[in-house]
Amino acid sequence: MEVQEALDVARRAALDLVQSPSPRLFGEALDVDGILLRRLGPEAWDALTPRQREILRGAIRDRFVRSLAPPHSGSAGVAWSGAQPSGVGADVFLGLRFDARALKTRWAMRRVGGGWRIADVVLSDPGVSLARAAEASLGRKPVERRTRGKEVWSTAAPRLGAIVVLAFAAGVIAFRIPRAKRPLVYLTAAAPIALFTVDAALAVHRTVSEPWVLQAPAAPEPWRAFEQQAITAEREGRAAEARDFWAKALSAGGPAGPIEYQIGLVARQHGDVEHARAEFERSLAESQPAPGADRELAFLDAEAGRFAAAEPRLARYIAATGPDPESLSLLSVIQTNLGKSDDAVTTIGRARELVGEAWRSDEIEARVRARAGDGAGCVAALRAMEGRGTNVDRRALRADPAYMPIATDPTWVAFINERAARGP
């Protein structure tokens, strides 16, 4: 029951995040105060004023939203979900769907007061914690204790100087004009003098009442610009440019494991399998490896028929990041090829539980079997979709790169060339 409650909270927050232009529910569910308390320490956090706390809360929420919001307008939702208890709460596994793509995430849910809050969201494949990234975005020293006497003077001095200048100017002008016109000069000068006086009083009050001062975040690391250019190039289908930008991000000091994983993904998309394999292996050897590299290597091994090598890689990936339908479906294919029929049935059952909708689980199984070179298994899954009343567009299948590994398989060729009566 507890785990189901955590799953429900995370799903509602995720749907609000990807479907609402102003994700209020997600912001309320995020344990922003817990993240800031860990980053600043209890002494500084307790001494901050409500105004200062709200500024920092906004910065943390904005970082999460910018990292998880849909890259463009279009269809978005939750493709699959699952949960399991963890030591201090629950881990919720969500596939955030953006059009035809799914982003695998792990939501660390913790009990705070009487409800569930989001302590962190981890991008599973690169192994990036958004809570840690948000903390880092605040800079090395987000707050600093004030030296009040010095700051009171430095705050008030410019404003007092302006008041003196205005008063002196008004006096000089009044001295040079007839006495009857002097009140108008004094009234004209009084307005800005009053404004500067009030501003000085408010600034001094704020300095006295806020024992800690917020520091402006430092400029982002140089590699961040290359990272953003790489992501943009990937979204626009410019794979070669994306790979170059990821390489520049790495040379500029970015985290090696996640970036080498991204380079490997782009290389594989570009058809350079050997380069992709080398980058995935390199990523796993780093101090901060990207777990998704194990999954990609398992796919490469399965495509090459090395099922015995693929199985432990995929099992390690699922243990590190949690279950997802595609990985479980691939593991079922591998187990079938290794003669582990009972294990394969159990594994594919777990994949279907995550997806919920039977036709969608058939679609995932078909794509995974195609990537693994199993033409007959792929066709069987697609026929199961048709048996449930789902229209299978054969023209779309021909153009889908996921089915390229079985493009010449006789069973596949016969399926996509069937009469229009069986589908488009």
The predicted pLDDT at position 321 comes to 93
Interatomic CA distance for residues 260 and 262, integer angstroms: 5
> Across residues 62-73, what is the average pLDDT?
80
Of the pLDDT bands very low, low, confident and very high (cuts 50, 70, 90), residue 112 is confident
Burial class of residue 219, CB neighbours in 10 A (0-12, 13-18, 19+): exposed
Give yes or no for a contact between 79 and 102, defined as CB atoms under 8 angstroms apart. yes
pLDDT digits (tens, 9 = 90+) for 236-260: 778 788 888 888 988 888 889 999 9
Interatomic CA distance for residues 377 and 370, integer angstroms: 8
Cα–Cα–Cα angle for 36, 38, 40, nearest 5°?
Answer: 65
The predicted pLDDT at position 422 comes to 47
**Residue 231: pLDDT over 90:** no
Torsion of CA 374, 377, 378, 382, to 10 degrees: 170
pLDDT digits (tens, 9 = 90+) for 360-370: 667 777 877 88
**Residue 305: pLDDT over 50:** yes
Of the pLDDT bands very low, low, confident and very high (cuts 50, 70, 90), residue 424 is very low
> Across residues 9-15, what is the average pLDDT?
94
Unique residue bearing structure tokens 């990523």: 283
**Residue 59: pLDDT over 80:** yes
pLDDT digits (tens, 9 = 90+) for 160-200: 666 666 666 666 676 677 777 667 666 676 767 777 676 76
Higher pLDDT, 170 or 135: 135
pLDDT digits (tens, 9 = 90+) for 281-294: 999 999 999 999 99
> Across residues 349-356, what is the average pLDDT?
80
Interatomic CA distance for residues 345 and 336, integer angstroms: 9
The predicted pLDDT at position 333 comes to 85
Average pLDDT, the chain: 83
The predicted pLDDT at position 207 comes to 59
Higher pLDDT, 277 or 398: 277
**Residue 274: pLDDT over 70:** yes
Interatomic CA distance for residues 56 and 52, integer angstroms: 7
Q: 114-118: which pairs have CB atoms within 8 A and are 24 or more residues apart?
A: 115/9, 116/5, 116/6, 116/9, 116/10, 116/29, 116/89, 116/90, 117/29, 117/30, 117/31, 117/34, 118/9, 118/10, 118/13, 118/26, 118/29, 118/30, 118/31
pTM for the whole thing?
A: 0.73
Torsion of CA 267, 270, 274, 280, to 10 degrees: 30
Of the pLDDT bands very low, low, confident and very high (cuts 50, 70, 90), residue 21 is confident
